[in-house]
């Protein structure tokens, strides 16, 4: 069973600026451990000859020409914004 400590959960939560209750810390500790456990299955294989994969698709150079297209109208830009100040998004002080 992969282990993840309570401090590690709190650390990751702090990086995301999320406040967790003690119950939530315990819950995520278990869930994150399960995820790590599942992913660590891969290490059961001998992959010493396999180069790291950055992307599963065997293609490269998917790009677009440098030609402008229309932007969103402001009412759509702000449609889901919780707070707005003129044409700015407004957030708690950062």
In whole angstroms, the minimum distance from the beta carbon of 33 to another protein comes to: 18
- Residue 67 as a binder of another protein (CB under 8 A): the answer is yes
Taking CB under 8 A as the binding criterion, the range among 1-9, 13-21, 27-35, 37-45 that sits at the site for another protein is: 13-21
Of the candidates 82, 84, 86, 87, the one whose C-alpha atom is nearest the C-alpha of residue 71 is 87
- Residue 50 as a binder of another protein (CB under 8 A): the answer is no
- Shorter beta-carbon distance to another protein: residue 23 or 66: 66
Exposed, middle or buried by CB within 10 Å (0-12, 13-18, 19+), for 60?
exposed
């Amino acid at each position: 069973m992969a282990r993840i400590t309570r401090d590690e959960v709190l650390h990751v939560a702090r990086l995301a600026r999320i406040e967790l209750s003690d119950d939530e810390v315990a819950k995520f500790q278990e869930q994150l451990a399960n995820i790590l456990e599942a992913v660590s299955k891969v290490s059961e294989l001998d992959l010493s000859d396999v180069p790291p994969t950055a992307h599963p698709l065997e293609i490269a150079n998917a790009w677009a020409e440098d030609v402008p297209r229309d932007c969103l109208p402001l009412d759509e830009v702000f449609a889901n914004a919780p707070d707005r100040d003129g044409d700015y998004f407004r957030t708690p002080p950062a």
